[in-house]
Amino acid sequence: MFGKLFGGSKEPKEKKILPWKNLTTVSQLDEIAKLSLGKTQVIFKHSTRCGISSMVMNQFVAAFDLDINLDLYYLDLLSYRDVSNEAGFKFQVMHQSPQLLVIKNGVVIAHASHGAINEIDLFKFV
């Protein structure tokens, strides 16, 4: 009875899995820049201790179209702070969390933080 009242379901929802590549080393940033010459690269910088970052991440995952042709990187900025800092220097974007960087032809062509992440239409950059 209460499940129906509060939108509960006995069947578990299937969890959507995105094609994340873990971004864990500074040297990967050069590879991302090089790969962006032929295919759009996207970095999602996520703080695992921030409720807002988790909320934005969940919304991003739910809305992400698995058919889009780009490479998607996940950066746990608390575990890999040096990578996060270098990404800001390399791509000339001030650090924020959460943050999405869209990289094409070696440069950031779009970026957003917090709720604005989910307003970016990634198909425009593929």
Region 78-88: mean pLDDT is 96
State the pLDDT confidence band at 71, using cuts at 50, 70 and 90. Answer: very high
The 10s digit of each residue's pLDDT in 52-66 is 999 999 999 999 999
Q: Is residue 4 situated within a structural domain?
A: no
The pLDDT assigned to 16 comes to 87
Task: Supply the DSSP string of 32-88, one letter for each residue.
Answer: HHHHTTTS-EEEEEE-TT-HHHHHHHHHHHHH--TT--SEEEEEETTT-HHHHHHHH
Partners of 110 in the β-ladder: 102
Host domain of residue 69: 17-125
The pLDDT assigned to 2 comes to 47
Q: Is residue 5 situated within a structural domain?
A: no
Surface-to-core class of residue 67, CB atoms within 10 Å of its CB (0-12 exposed, 13-18 middle, 19+ buried)? exposed
Q: What is the CATH number of the domain that holds 88?
A: 3.40.30.10
Instruction: With a cut of 90, say whether residue 51 has pLDDT above it.
Output: yes
pLDDT mean across residues, the chain: 91
Q: Is residue 25 situated within a structural domain?
A: yes
Number of domains present in the structure of the chain = 1
CB atoms closer than 10 angstroms to residue 95: 14
